Amino acid sequence: MLLLLIDETIYVTTEKGNLVTFDQNGNLLWENKEAGFSKFYSEPVKYENLIFLATIDRGIQVFESESGELVNKILPEKKDAIYILPF
């Protein structure tokens, strides 16, 4: 399980490959299960209103940070693993 804390929102990846968010009191804000069982290799990274996750299938999934909607999947031509590191 990996997590990211930004402002008052906690973004967590689960063992089943879901992206879940909570407020700082532990209340569930939203959960995205579209990722299925692909495990995440990286901590979530937030840029503007997007959350980026590198996945085990060598792609990057992009979620809208307020709703949790999966807005893009980036699959590179080269099949090397991708890792996202926070700055």
DSSP labels, 23-53: ETTS-EEEEE-TTTTPPBSS--EEETTEEEE
Assess whether pLDDT exceeds 60 at residue 34: yes
What residue ranges define each of the domains in the chain, with the CATH number in brackets?
Answer: 2-74 (2.40.10.480)
| Residues belonging to the chain | 87
Amino acid at 76: P
> In this prediction, what percent of the chain has a pLDDT beyond 70?
74
Q: What is the pTM of this model?
A: 0.75
The predicted pLDDT at position 39 comes to 58
How does 58-74 read in b/e, with b if 16+ C-beta sit within 10 Å?
ebbbbbebeebebeeee
pLDDT for residue 31 is more than 60: yes
Q: Which DSSP letter does residue 1 get? A: -
Mean of the per-residue pLDDT values for the chain? 79
Residue pair 18/26 in contact (Cβ under 8 Å)? The answer is no
